[in-house]
Amino acid sequence: RSTVGSTMVGDGKAHCATLCMVMSAWAVPLMAFFGYLCMQESPMIELPREQKSGAAWGCFGSAFLYALTFFGAMQYKSKVASRPVARQVQMQEMAQLPDPNRY
């Protein structure tokens, strides 16, 4: 009997935390790069020159918030992993014994 399906069913929050970690790990360097481009007033970012400095700080701030999200999700996953796992209940059919005093 396979236990793969039963272990993955009740683990939705851990899967959500994993997704948050992956998305945050991808977003932190991307937002930091966008912030760098805005700070250097790169022509690759199509904004008026006077708005690029504010946009750079917005990108750096969002990179910081994504980093907090990553570490929060990582902390949640480590808390879930350290929790004791409930043991599996073993079901067993009992044999019917004849009762001598029944008749």
Tens digits of residue pLDDT in 59-103: 999 999 999 999 999 999 999 888 777 677 777 777 777 777 765
Alpha-carbon span 103 to 39, nearest angstrom: 95
> Half-sphere exposure of residue 59, counting CA atoms within 13 Å on the CB side?
19
Tens digits of residue pLDDT in 26-58: 999 999 999 999 999 999 999 999 999 999 999
Q: Residues 6 or more apart from 37 whose CB is under 8 A from it?
A: 44, 45
Whole-model pTM above 0.75? no
pLDDT at residue 103 in the model: 59
Alpha-carbon span 60 to 33, nearest angstrom: 9
